[in-house]
Amino acid sequence: MSRIGKRAVVLPSGVTASISGQTIEIKGPKGTRAFKATDDVTLTVENDAVSVTPRGTSKRARQQWGMSRTMVANLVTGVTDGFKKELEIQGVGYRAAMTGNTLKLNLGLSHDVDYTPPAGVTVTAPKQTEIVVEGIDEQLVGQVAANIRAWRKPEPYKGKGIRYKGEFIFRKEGKKK
């Protein structure tokens, strides 16, 4: 039995869910999101809660059970609170600034990096050394944050680069004479 799948996803006030076939659509104050479940699970809405049940006892049905419930929970979280990733920049001369809708990164390369985020994601730079990525789609927010981090990953000797807020970088000792 899936411990995650057994629990129903409670819909807070102001959030509605509608099911058509295997597709569930969640509407909330921040927008609308949809998820298409596989044929291995059944989605039902009752008493302001969405429940997911497997359609058999096969291994695939049990796998999809917990995953589908988590996806529905992420849709509800996205349309109510949204998702947020915070990045910090460390390094002498490394900085970020927003120019219109474009994030301008100065990362010690021979050129400045201009990054335009996709629709549905907002990127802000409250300080020169901080970047905040927000949106209602958890996967898209994480992908945008990973794309920004990929321009200059933190290196283990001095710790310079773009890292997630609170990320621990294992530091190495330099060469000795």
* pLDDT tens per residue across span 13-23: 999 999 999 99
In this structure, are 89 and 50 located in the same domain? Answer: no
In this structure, are 69 and 87 located in the same domain? Answer: no
Query: Which CATH number is 129's domain given?
Result: 3.90.930.12
In this structure, are 87 and 76 located in the same domain? Answer: no
pLDDT for 2 beyond 80: no
- Residue 105, domain member (yes or no): yes
Total domains in the fold of the chain? 2
> Containing H/E element for 72?
helix 59-80
In this structure, are 160 and 100 located in the same domain? Answer: yes
In this structure, are 88 and 76 located in the same domain? Answer: no
Report how far residue 118's alpha carbon sits from residue 59's, in angstroms, rounded to the nearest whole number.
36
Report how far residue 39's alpha carbon sits from residue 63's, in angstroms, rounded to the nearest whole number.
12
In this structure, are 117 and 159 located in the same domain? Answer: yes
Least Cα distance to 146 among 136, 138, 157, 158 occurs for 138
In this structure, are 56 and 91 located in the same domain? Answer: no
- Angle between helix 59-80 and helix 138-150 axes, rounded to 10 deg: 80
pTM confidence score: 0.87
Which of 80, 104, 122 is the C-terminal boundary of a domain?
Answer: 80
In this structure, are 19 and 88 located in the same domain? Answer: no
Give the residue-averaged pLDDT of 55-67: 91
Least Cα distance to 88 among 154, 157, 155 occurs for 154
Average pLDDT taken over every residue of the chain:
92
In this structure, are 62 and 96 located in the same domain? Answer: no
Q: At 5, is the pLDDT very low, low, confident or very high (cuts 50, 70, 90)?
A: confident
- Residue 177, domain member (yes or no): no
Show the domain range for 88. 83-164
Q: pLDDT value at position 174?
A: 86
In this structure, are 96 and 67 located in the same domain? Answer: no
